[in-house]
Amino acid sequence: MKRLVILGGGTAGTIIANKLRHQLDRAEWAVTVVDRDDEHHYQPGYLFVPFGGYRRDQVVRSRHAFLPDGVEFVVGAVEQVEPDEDVVLLEDGRRLEYDQLVIATGTTPRPDQTPGMLGPEWRRSIFDFYTLDGAEALAEALTRFEGGRLVVHITEMPIKCPVAPLEFTFLVEAWLRARGLRDRAELVYVTPLDGAFTKPVASAHLGGMLDERKVHVETDFMVERIDNEQKMLVSYDEREIPFDLLVTVPLNMGADFVARSGLGDELNYVPVDRHTLLSRSYDNIFAVGDAGDIPASKAGSVAHFAVEIFVGNFLEHISGRPMTGSFDGHANCFVESGDDKALLIDFNYDTEPLPGKYPLPVIGPMDLLKETRANHLGKLAFRWIYWNVLLPGRPVPLPAHMSMAGKVLPKTNEKQEV
């Protein structure tokens, strides 16, 4: 009996288990999923928690409930992988041997990595929303907020869902307006990037939206520490940004066991081939979703599209055949912009987000890089799709590879629809 061990029961790990259990011969392959707990979080829902949009019971369910019959679910924290011995060691001493290993343990906010972030102001005037506890604490803080300097801050890239800090900024600006507090609040968006986003066309568009909302943008800001006494962000080049309420996105890092196992880079992400997701060092280890070092957004859509390519490649790989699938870094993200509207962006390794229609030319029905209510409703509907279609591994009628159909290419003097 051969053994497939999947570390991580999040988005990527759960979809892989569902898809491969139905395609691997049960007489030949045992499939095991390992995670430290039995709580599966719908992480995109965290964004809405500070504004009363979702409750805890709407974003947390049992991991086990989404795994198919024939998959063993092991609850336990990973201590280390011994790749030369093909074994996973758990913190409680259990050993799990494998023939093929998939690392899908994602990425995690690490406020401990920035001096002062976890100081006395943590969860008093300094909050995050990349954890459910943090989002709930921030919800309480917003109910007490009556005005002042509200700063939204990104420590460093890459981060999970790189548009989420922008979404929070748009949503809190609309929230303040709805409560008659906008004139009493100064909003500042602080980023290590040279613009609002990583790609030029989208950066210019999203930066313009921040300007329209009178949000000051502080770019190229590399935080060195947080001064709790002065309530101030301090950069390596000695710039200072004071705050009354700081909503920060801490440094994101992969799992610590990746470092202990000698499998990761400086941020604990596993170096893999960006097209096949196979480890560059071991022929029987893959890293899928946020756990790998591919130059794509660390977002649920990337995990979903990557898994679609990975499954076929994996079946070829274990059969001794060359892997023919090539993941293109496809990402597809709704961007909440407040007032019950949202944008949609669609891009990959080589093509930045462009305006146009999605998924079909002319018809859409979604607009790219344009604020619409349809996009907002699409984002809200995705929670049902996530629980009922995506995680169980059911077919999603969207291509895994990005298509240029319907997109409008920027030109010097004109635009041309593809």
Domains of the chain by range and CATH? 2-107+254-318 (3.50.50.60), 111-249 (3.50.50.60), 332-417 (no CATH)
The DSSP output letter for 375 is H
**Over the chain, what is the mean pLDDT?**
95
Whether the link from the prior residue into 44 is cis, omega within 30° of 0, is no
**pLDDT band for position 201 (cuts 50, 70, 90):** confident
Confidence (pLDDT) at 414: 46
User: Can you tell me the distance from the alpha carbon of 54 to that of 139, in angstroms, rounded to the nearest whole number?
Assistant: 11
The phi-psi region of residue 327 (left if phi > 0; otherwise alpha if psi is between -120 and 50; otherwise beta) is beta
Closest listed residue to residue 331, CA positions, set 207, 193, 158: 158
Distances (CA, A) of 105 to 8, 66, 268: 4, 17, 11
- Under 8 Å CB-to-CB from 191, ≥6 apart: which residues? 153, 154, 165, 217, 218, 219, 221
CB 231 within 8 A of CB 125: yes
pLDDT by residue (tens digit) across 206-237?
999 999 999 999 999 999 999 999 999 999 99
Checking if the pLDDT of 166 tops 60, the result is yes
Confidence (pLDDT) at 244: 98
The angle, 0 to 180 degrees and rounded to 10, between the axes of the packed helices 300-318 and 11-21 is: 40
Confidence (pLDDT) at 308: 96
pLDDT by residue (tens digit) across 332-367?
999 999 999 999 999 999 999 999 999 999 888 999
CB 162 within 8 A of CB 198: yes
Side-chain-side CA neighbours of 149 within 13 Å: the count stands at 13
**pLDDT band for position 203 (cuts 50, 70, 90):** confident
Checking if the pLDDT of 37 tops 50, the result is yes
User: Can you tell me the distance from the alpha carbon of 11 to that of 403, in angstroms, rounded to the nearest whole number?
Assistant: 23
pLDDT by residue (tens digit) across 113-132?
999 999 999 999 999 999 99
CB 105 within 8 A of CB 7: yes
Closest listed residue to residue 312, CA positions, set 292, 286, 348: 286
Closest listed residue to residue 226, CA positions, set 208, 243, 201, 203: 243
Token pair, residue 324, equals: 């023919």
